[in-house]
Amino acid sequence: MSAHPSYPAAPMTSPVSAKKKAQLLPTQAFLAKLFHWINLISLIIMITSGLQIYNANPVFGGRAGWHFPDLFLLGGWLAGGRKWHFAAMWFFSLNLLWYGVYVFVSRRWQRRYASASDLQVLQTGQNPKRKNYAWHRVAYTAIIPMLLLAILSGLAMYKPAQFHWLSALFINWQTLRTVHFITVPVVLLFTLAHSFLALKVGNFRLVKSMFT
Ligand code: HEM
């Protein structure tokens, strides 16, 4: 297996002892860290304020249906929830936009994202470490379209007159709001799987390297 791309390479001339090697911290690009911080904070605000909006008019089961407990809500009431939701929307979507531009302009996607070789490893590979690494890359590659779906389905509900063509892609209003809602458990499950795989691939030091 090739070295983890975010770990500093050991100097060729002086062999690094096993103990020293274990102390080397993985490095992450500053912009990848910035993306993570803004993404995480804005996602927490978007989800908690979104649940506040949901509680005002539950999609599943009507007014007498399932309501989320106050602990997970932000905004106090419907209008408050909408204000938080639409304010955080700008941070969340502009963050994804600049990060997408950065990934393409710097060609980062070629090194950091899932490739044909990862898919091959998952099918025929024998090395469990390399397989975990491939799963991890597949997971964080696959979540990007899901974040886009959350934004686009939200936009279609936010401005249905201006983006009527976008709303029309989701067949009807109930399907549109259900798709928007389903992106939440998907993102939450992804975050769990992504954290678990990050720990398996590079233990706590790798997780720490992304947030410090
Ligand atoms: C929905 C939330 C998240 C999304 C969308 C996300 C997305 C991503 C993406 C796209 C990358 C590749 C970054 C790059 O190199 O340009 C990445 C890497 C990484 N993420 Fe996340 N992430 C999320 C949450 C988290 C959380 C909560 C943790 C901590 C447990 C975490 C830890 C990491 C680590 C350690 C890497 C580096 C992996 C490596 O170097 O192999 N992420 N994430």
Average pLDDT, integer, range 77-96: 97
CA–centroid distance, 180 to ligand 1, in Å, is 22
Ligand 1 contacts CB of residue 41 (under 6 A) = no
146 touches 183 (CB < 8 A): yes
Instruction: Please give the number of the atom of ligand 1 that sits closest to the Cα of 206.
Output: 35
Ligand 1 contacts CB of residue 102 (under 6 A) = no
Ligand 1 contacts CB of residue 200 (under 6 A) = no
CA distances from 82 to 14, 158, 175 (A): 58, 10, 20
Whole-angstrom Cα distance, residue 149 to residue 104? 19
26 touches 7 (CB < 8 A): yes
Ligand 1 contacts CB of residue 139 (under 6 A) = no
pLDDT digits (tens, 9 = 90+) for 124-174: 999 999 999 999 999 999 999 999 999 999 999 999 999 999 999 999 999
| 137 burial via Cβ count (<10 Å: 0-12, 13-18, 19+) | buried
pLDDT at 12 over 60: no
Quick one: what percent of the chain has pLDDT higher than 90? 82
Lowest mean pLDDT among 6-10, 25-29, 34-38: 6-10
Whole-angstrom Cα distance, residue 75 to residue 52? 7
DSSP states of 123-137: HH---HHHHHHHHHH
